Amino acid sequence: MSDEKLSNLLQENRTFEPPADLAAQANVRAEDYERATADPEAFWAEAAQKLHWGTPFTQVLDWSDPPFAKWFADGKLNVAYNCVDRHVLTGNGDKVAFHFVGEPGDTRTITYAELKDEVCQAANALVDLGVKTGDRVAIYMPMILETVVAMLACARLGAPHTVVFGGFSSDALASRIDDCGAEIVITADGGYRRGKPSALKPAVDEALGKVSGVRNVLVVRRTGEDVDWTEGRDVWWDDVVAGASPEHTPQDFDAEHPLYVMYTSGTTGKPKGILHTSGGYLVQSAYTFWATFDHKPEDVYWCTADVGWVTGHSYAVYGPTAMGATQVLYEGTPDSPHKGRWWEIIAEHKVTIFYTAPTAIRTFMKWGREIPDEYDLSSLRILGSVGEPINPEAYVWYREVIGGGRTPVVDTWWQTETGAHMITPLPGVTAAKPGSAMVAFPGISADVVDDRGQSVADGEGGLLVITKPWPGMLRTIWGDDERFKDTYWSRFAEQGYYFAGDGAKKDDDGHIWVLGRVDDVMNVSGHRLSTTEIESALVSHPKVAEAAVVGATDDTTGQAVCAFVILREEAGDGGVDIVEDLRTHVAKEIGAIAKPRQVMIVPELPKTRSGKIMRRLLRDVAENRQVGDVTTLADSSVMDLIQQGMSGTK
Ligand code: WTA
């Protein structure tokens, strides 16, 4: 494409119509929006028919005790039965469930019939380890098939899992195990990342030195590296799962039975355990998967998200398996062993639907289009984006270079808390604008409001809210109903709106553009990080007196962590390695994803008279801008001191 044409495409008012053939055969049509708006509950009741209910529900929504919702409350179902058994029973047992691709190049293709057997074996093994309905199981795994099997085995038993991202530290793992009271941990010796084994078991051992209550650790052998072993506690997966019976009769659970707890960063230091339950969550994740990606039985779908995040839960495990999809599951990083690895996988498996994050797209843009251009990507028909706002330039590059200019791009806005897609174009319906999540999904009511909760006019900005309950919504924060009410429902209590924590604008056509967080949550490479959590990690270092963290704009990662640190008197200048020491310290406390891009040692922090740190000013510094209005500072000379002190820091 010529430069002139490309710059043409970069104009924000450009729209991309759905391809005519796709629109003609689309799963969801324009009239579905009208139907859903007229009666959202009837719409979701119909969507729920995509699942098998052991006991059909008679009531759709119980909102008698807001904000505690119950969906399909008198219905019963088994989530794992829906995700595996029923496909086998309806003659699709030979259909491929997953094409697994290990980073070193090993592959394994597993059919739904095989997946069912493994899920049953794992469920039986967990029962033998004493797991009962309602018990919590922590999962700390690489991206391998056993992770999916473990999650579905827990679901089958009604034992809520909490999957902890394998990149998190032992401290982060320990606090999650402790908070949800997990009794079993499922892990692996390690996984492959960036061309070498990356151990996981040592972090589990370390975590279990800090918390009590874990009876057993079930260990998958993946890398074959040596691991420390605690007799009586540690059990090899191969020893107990492979020999277990592949027969297991699933029990139906109430629709509101807890399915999983997923921890996510909030505005305070302590991560929140977001609770999702069975029926409503599975309905919305399955239905949106089918609708947003226009999924057809012959599609090959690949979501690159790690199962340690909500995207991996809803769109690599529950939604797609509930719909009987064939998926790719890839263990490693996009540049291992070469920078064309993802495109090679798409070409090899003829992937038709591809779902990834803007940060990945921007990285590929940086690497250059020559790399994807070497591969045959003509199988692709729909592309998805998730995790952060996608800038129009990345959107257009994605559509043109990866999608060959044919594929609609669906920019899906949702959150750990919402469970599934909330605002997104639909590929057969929407004339999509690059950078806009467009309109609420059918049956979802979203709005942009001002501070007082009044809907803003088209062309104006404000706060993003959800105005009616939805099936996949979080039910509470694990063990903390008050925090649940306070965090999401207190801001617009009068109107009864869910406050998402994001700023957004409506354009002149009323389409929604999500602008990013308005609270102290950062979004780094699509991962949610709390400024407070990183500040606490920094302050736990013996040389640090005080710390302030801001998210600064970054070309690749969206935002980057920038830390301003005041050292303790006795630490002097901290020594030559202080910046690196502090970065490593944060990685150890939270995980490598939280490692600050920059640490600036400063003599003071800008504070208001009431002692609140003015992060806005620090953001100006971190983004190399002229510092804004300093008149509300207790001491307005502080910013000069910071800027002088910064010369020479990295
Ligand atoms: C951001 C990930 C703009 C947003 C599914 C939200 C987005 C947070 C988009 C949730 C998008 C996610 N456009 N922003 N398409 N998708 N976000 O819980 O700030 O990890 O509040 O869920 O990511 O992140 P979470």
- pLDDT tens for 596-612 read 999 999 988 888 776 77
The 10s digit of each residue's pLDDT in 335-366 is 999 999 999 999 999 999 999 999 999 999 99
Cα gap 146→200, rounded to integer Å? 14
Q: Return the residue whose CA atom lies nearest to atom 8 of ligand 1.
A: 415
Query: Considering the chain, what percentage of its residues have pLDDT values greater than 70?
Result: 97
Alpha-carbon separation of residue 150 from 70, 157, 218, 256 (angstroms): 27, 11, 10, 21
Residue 545 banded pLDDT, cuts 50, 70, 90: confident
Residue nearest to atom 24 of ligand 1 (CA): 415
Per-residue confidence (pLDDT) for residue 1, from 0 to 100: 35
* Residue of the CA atom closest to atom 1 of ligand 1: 388
- Residue 388 annotated in ligand binding: yes
C-alpha angle 480-486-490 in degrees, rounded to nearest 5 = 150
Q: Write the CA distances from 127 to 133, 137, 150, 213, 334, integer angstroms.
A: 9, 12, 13, 17, 37
Question: pTM score, two decimals?
Answer: 0.91
- CA angle, corner 153, sides to 151 and 155, nearest 5? 70
The three-class DSSP label of residue 298 is coil
Cα 551 to middle of ligand 1, angstroms: 15
Q: Which residues of 407-418 are buried (b: 16+ CB within 10 A; e: fewer)?
A: bbbbbbbbbbbb
Give the model's pLDDT for residue 430.
Answer: 97
pLDDT, tens digit, for every residue of 307-326?
999 999 999 999 999 999 99
Q: Which residues of 311-330 are buried (b: 16+ CB within 10 A; e: fewer)?
A: bbbbbbbbbbbbbbbbbbbb
Residue 346 in contact with residue 380, Cβ under 8 Å? Answer: yes
Residue 383 has pLDDT above 80, yes or no: yes
* 645 pLDDT tier (thresholds 50, 70, 90): low
Ligand 1 midpoint to CA 103 (Å): 27
Which tokens hold the place of 600? 């600036």
Q: Is 332 annotated as a binding residue?
A: no
Please state the three-class secondary structure of 585-643 as a single string: HHHHHCEHHHCCCEEEECCCCCEECCCCECHHHHHHHHCCCCCCCCCCECCCCHHHHHH
Q: Is 412 marked as binding a ligand?
A: yes
Q: Is 476 helix (H, G, I), strand (E, B) or coil?
A: strand
Integer Cα distance of 486 and 186 in angstroms: 33
Angle at 381 between CA 427 and CA 105, to 5 degrees: 130
Distance between CA atoms of residues 221 and 373, nearest Å: 37
Mean pLDDT value of segment 616-635: 84
Query: Ligand 1 centre and the CA of 391: distance in Å?
Result: 14
Q: Is residue 581 over pLDDT 90? A: yes
Residue carrying the six token digits 């490593």: 584
CA–centroid distance, residue 218 to ligand 1 (Å): 32
pLDDT digits (tens, 9 = 90+) for 497-508: 999 999 999 999
116-127: average pLDDT: 98
State the complex-level ipTM.
0.99
SS3 category, 303: strand
Ligand 1 binding pocket (C-beta < 6 A) is 264, 309-311, 386-389, 411-416, 437, 500-502, 514, 516-517, 523, 528
In tens, the pLDDT along 149-166 reads 999 999 999 999 999 999
The predicted pLDDT at position 12 comes to 64
Q: What is the mean pLDDT of residues 273-286?
A: 98
Do 587 and 169 touch, CB atoms closer than 8 A? yes
Three-class SS of 172-215: HHHHHHHHHCCCEEEEECEEEECCEEEECHHHHHHHHCCCCCCC
Using the mean position of ligand 1's atoms as its centre, give its distance from the Cα of residue 414 in Å. 5
**Mean pLDDT over each residue of the chain, to the nearest integer:** 94
DSSP 67: T
Mean pLDDT along residues 30-58: 98
Per-residue pLDDT tens digits for 223-273: 999 999 999 999 999 999 999 999 999 999 999 999 999 999 876 667 899
Q: Is 362 assigned a ligand-binding role in the annotation?
A: no
pLDDT for 532: 84
User: By C-alpha distance, which of 470, 390, 404, 501 is closest to 435?
Assistant: 390
- Residue with the nearest Cα to atom 7 of ligand 1? 388
C-alpha of residue 536 to centroid of ligand 1, in Å: 24
